[in-house]
Chain A
Amino acid sequence: MKKTVAFTSMLLIVSAVLFGCGSQPADKAAPQPPQESKPAGGADVSEEMKSVTDSYRAYALEQIDQFVQATESFTDAVKNGDLEKAQALYAPTRMFYERIEPIAEALGDLDPDIDARENDVPDEEWRGFHRIEKGLWIDKTTKGYETYADQLINDAKLLRGKVETVEVTPQMLVTGAVELLNEVSSSKVTGEEERYSHTDLYDFAANVEGAEKIYELLKPAIEKKDSGLSQEIEKRFAEVDKLLASCKKGEGYVLYTELGEEQIKKLSQAIDNLAEPLSNMGIVLEG
Chain B
Amino acid sequence: MTDESRNKAGTSDFLTQPISRRNMLKLAGIGGIGALVGASGMGGVLALTQASGSGSMNKAGAAGGIVPFYGEHQAGILTEVQNHVYFASFDITAEKRPEVIDLFRDWTAAAANMTQGRDVAEKLANEYVPPADTGEAAGLLPSNLTITFGVGPSFFLKDGVDRFGLGAKRPQALSELPVFPLDDLQPEWCGGDVCVQVCADDPQVAFHALRNLTRRARGIAAVRWTQAGFQRTHQADPKKATPRNLFGFKDGTGNPDVNDPKLMNQYVWVQPQDGPAWLAGGTYLVVRRIQMRIEVWDRTTLRDQEDTFGRHRDSGAPLGGQDEFEPLDLNRKDKNGQLVIPATAHARIAHGDGQVKLLRRSFSYADGIEPKTGALNAGHLFICFQRDPARQFIPIQQNLAKNDKLNEYIVHRGSGIFACFPGVKQGSYLGEALFS
A272 vs B218: C-alpha distance when bound (angstroms): 7
User: A275 → chain B, closest Cβ, in Å?
Assistant: 9
| Contact yes or no, B93 A282, CB < 8 A | no
User: A45 → chain B, closest Cβ, in Å?
Assistant: 13
Residues in A with CB closer than 8 Å to B218 are 272-273, 276
Residues in A with CB closer than 8 Å to B222 are 269
Residues in B with CB closer than 8 Å to A277 are 219
The yes or no answer to A20 lying at the interface (CB within 8 A) is no
Question: Which residue of chain A has its CB nearest to the CB of B223?
Answer: A269
Residues in B with CB closer than 8 Å to A283 are 126, 128-129
| Contact yes or no, B93 A174, CB < 8 A | no
A272 vs B127: C-alpha distance when bound (angstroms): 21
Which among B128, B215, B219 is the interface contact of A282 at CB below 8 angstroms? Answer: B128
A174 vs B127: C-alpha distance when bound (angstroms): 12
Which among B93, B128, B219 is the interface contact of A285 at CB below 8 angstroms? Answer: B128
User: B221 → chain A, closest Cβ, in Å?
Assistant: 10
Residues in A with CB closer than 8 Å to B128 are 30, 171, 174, 282-283, 285-286
> In residues 247-287 of chain A, which contact B (Cβ within 8 Å)?
269, 272-274, 276-277, 279-283, 285-286
User: A268 → chain B, closest Cβ, in Å?
Assistant: 10
User: A127 → chain B, closest Cβ, in Å?
Assistant: 36
Q: Is the interface of B mostly helix, strand, loop or mixed?
A: loop
| Contact yes or no, A285 B215, CB < 8 A | no
| Contact yes or no, B129 A276, CB < 8 A | no
| Contact yes or no, B127 A279, CB < 8 A | no
| Contact yes or no, B215 A286, CB < 8 A | no
The yes or no answer to A36 lying at the interface (CB within 8 A) is yes
| Contact yes or no, A276 B215, CB < 8 A | yes
| Contact yes or no, A32 B127, CB < 8 A | yes
A239 vs B218: C-alpha distance when bound (angstroms): 13
Question: Which residue of chain B has its CB nearest to the CB of A32?
Answer: B127
User: A244 → chain B, closest Cβ, in Å?
Assistant: 17
The yes or no answer to B125 lying at the interface (CB within 8 A) is yes
Residues in A with CB closer than 8 Å to B130 are 279-280
Which among A30, A34, A273, A286 is the interface contact of B219 at CB below 8 angstroms? Answer: A273
A117 vs B249: C-alpha distance when bound (angstroms): 53
Number of cross-chain contacts by CB at 8 Å: 40
Interface size class for chain A? 20 to 34
User: B379 → chain A, closest Cβ, in Å?
Assistant: 25
The yes or no answer to A84 lying at the interface (CB within 8 A) is no
Question: Which residue of chain B has its CB nearest to the CB of A265?
Answer: B222
Tell me which of A232, A235, A273, A277 has the highest count of chain B C-beta atoms within 10 A of its own C-beta. Answer: A273
The yes or no answer to A236 lying at the interface (CB within 8 A) is yes
A272 vs B93: C-alpha distance when bound (angstroms): 13
Interface string of B200-232 (1 = CB under 8 A from A): 000000000000000100110010000000000
| Contact yes or no, B219 A279, CB < 8 A | no
A275 vs B127: C-alpha distance when bound (angstroms): 17
Interface size class for chain B? 10 to 19
> In residues 119-138 of chain B, which contact A (Cβ within 8 Å)?
125-130
Question: Which residue of chain B has its CB nearest to the CB of A268?
Answer: B222
User: A182 → chain B, closest Cβ, in Å?
Assistant: 12
Tell me which of B93, B125, B129, B215 has the highest count of chain A C-beta atoms within 10 A of its own C-beta. Answer: B129
Question: Which residue of chain B has its CB nearest to the CB of A280?
Answer: B129
Residues in A with CB closer than 8 Å to B126 are 34, 282-283, 285-286
User: A194 → chain B, closest Cβ, in Å?
Assistant: 26
Question: Which residue of chain B has its CB nearest to the CB of A281?
Answer: B129
Tell me which of B125, B128, B130, B219 has the highest count of chain A C-beta atoms within 10 A of its own C-beta. Answer: B128
User: A219 → chain B, closest Cβ, in Å?
Assistant: 16
Interface string of B118-161 (1 = CB under 8 A from A): 00000001111110000000000000000000000000000000
A174 vs B130: C-alpha distance when bound (angstroms): 11
A81 vs B357: C-alpha distance when bound (angstroms): 78
A283 vs B127: C-alpha distance when bound (angstroms): 9
> In residues 189-222 of chain A, which contact B (Cβ within 8 Å)?
none
Residues in A with CB closer than 8 Å to B215 are 276
> In residues 75-132 of chain B, which contact A (Cβ within 8 Å)?
93, 125-130
| Contact yes or no, A36 B125, CB < 8 A | yes
Residues in B with CB closer than 8 Å to A274 are 219
Residues in A with CB closer than 8 Å to B127 are 30, 32, 34
Residues in B with CB closer than 8 Å to A232 are 219
| Contact yes or no, B219 A236, CB < 8 A | yes
Residues in B with CB closer than 8 Å to A36 are 125
| Contact yes or no, A279 B129, CB < 8 A | yes
Residues in B with CB closer than 8 Å to A34 are 125-127
> In residues 173-188 of chain A, which contact B (Cβ within 8 Å)?
174
A128 vs B130: C-alpha distance when bound (angstroms): 35
| Contact yes or no, B93 A269, CB < 8 A | yes
Question: Which residue of chain A has its CB nearest to the CB of B132?
Answer: A280
Residues in B with CB closer than 8 Å to A281 are 129
A232 vs B125: C-alpha distance when bound (angstroms): 22
Question: Which residue of chain B has its CB nearest to the CB of A274?
Answer: B219
Interface string of A33-46 (1 = CB under 8 A from B): 01010000000000
A96 vs B345: C-alpha distance when bound (angstroms): 69
A272 vs B223: C-alpha distance when bound (angstroms): 12
Question: Which residue of chain B has its CB nearest to the CB of A275?
Answer: B218
Residues in B with CB closer than 8 Å to A279 are 129-130
A272 vs B221: C-alpha distance when bound (angstroms): 12
A27 vs B251: C-alpha distance when bound (angstroms): 61
User: B252 → chain A, closest Cβ, in Å?
Assistant: 37
User: B66 → chain A, closest Cβ, in Å?
Assistant: 29
User: Ordered nearest first, which 6 A-B pairs have the shortest CB separation?
Assistant: A282-B128, A273-B219, A282-B129, A285-B128, A276-B218, A286-B126
A-B contact pairs, 13 of them (CB 8 A): A32-B127, A34-B125, A232-B219, A235-B219, A236-B219, A269-B93, A276-B215, A277-B219, A279-B130, A281-B129, A282-B129, A285-B126, A286-B128
Not counting A174-B128, A273-B218, A276-B218, a sample of 9 additional A-B residue pairs whose C-beta atoms are within 8 angstroms of each other reads A30-B127, A30-B128, A36-B125, A232-B219, A269-B93, A273-B219, A281-B129, A286-B125, A286-B126
Which residues from chain A sit less than 8 Å from chain B, CB to CB?
Answer: 30, 32, 34, 36, 171, 174, 232, 235-236, 239, 269, 272-274, 276-277, 279-283, 285-286
